[in-house]
Amino acid sequence: MHISEGRFLTGPQVQQRYGISEMTMWRWEQNPELNFPKPMRVGRRKFYREDELTTWERERVKVSA
């Protein structure tokens, strides 16, 4: 399995990026309507692809417009 080049953010970095708590991020992950990017798990840690977060942000702007 090959993981394409790209930057990964940790859970705390994603929380800081959006100014949210760990619980809010968990709620976003559980809400299928938000379509929040799924993390890659390594042990107990979560990593999010930055390009998927950016795409999700763009989609959210379209939905709110």
In a domain, 28, yes or no: yes
Find the domain containing 55 and state its range. 8-64
Single pTM value for the model:
0.83
pLDDT confidence tier of residue 64, bands split at 50, 70 and 90:
confident
Q: Is 60 exceeded by the pLDDT of residue 4? A: no
In a domain, 35, yes or no: yes
Measuring CA to CA, how many Å separate 43 from each of 7, 34, 39, 46? 19, 25, 12, 8
In a domain, 31, yes or no: yes
In a domain, 1, yes or no: no
Give me the torsion for CA of 23, 62, 56, 19, rounded to 10°: -40
In a domain, 3, yes or no: no
In a domain, 37, yes or no: yes
Q: Is 60 exceeded by the pLDDT of residue 45? A: yes
pLDDT confidence tier of residue 39, bands split at 50, 70 and 90:
very high
| Averaged pLDDT for residues 42-65 | 91
- Report how many domains make up the chain: 1
| Averaged pLDDT for residues 5-9 | 87
